[in-house]
Amino acid sequence: MAGAKDSVVTIPAAVADTLVKFSQAVWDEDADDTTTIDSGTSGGTLYAIEIDNSANSVDVYLKGWFIAGVGTVNIGTTAPNLVLKCASGTKTQYTFSNGVKYTLQFRVAVLTTGGTAGTTAPDSTVYANFLFTAD
């Protein structure tokens, strides 16, 4: 919704008891690895992500891959399943009202270029909070 500053996510009561909030520093210091979110090995549903880029003077992109086990993610060539932008010096929250279902592990990296391309990490740590259920 254009111009909206707040959004409401309605989570069914049966799901609410199983929600997991996971906080993670996802700064990828050398841009050759990803952070595996402890989301279980059989997937889950992602309801929200908050990205804290307040320590950087450049925009960053949190890229997410739904991948089996320790599967291969090649930063800059493996197409991400999810790309979320956070402007420089800000915090940004993304909510998914119906959740984003994934069937594998969720791995993330934060870089300064959106899309598939880009291997440059930001200068300072970027933190993210994830709200999900694990299957």
Query: What are the pLDDT digits (tens) for 78-110?
Result: 899 999 999 999 999 999 988 888 877 777 888
Q: How far apart are CA 81 and CA 2, in angstroms?
A: 24
Q: How far apart are CA 25 and CA 126, in angstroms?
A: 6
Q: How many domains does the chain have?
A: 1
Mean pLDDT of all residues in the chain? 74
**pTM (2 decimals)?**
0.76
Q: What is the DSSP string of 17-71?
A: TT-EEEEEE-B-TTSS--EEE---SS-EEEEEEEEE-TT-SS-EEEEEEEESTT-
Question: Could you identify the residue written with the tokens 């996802």?
Answer: 26
What percentage of the chain reaches a pLDDT higher than 70?
A: 67
Residue numbers of the domain that contains 78: 25-134
Determine, yes or no, domain membership for 36.
Answer: yes
Determine, yes or no, domain membership for 120.
Answer: yes
Q: How far apart are CA 76 and CA 37, in angstroms?
A: 20
Determine, yes or no, domain membership for 15.
Answer: no
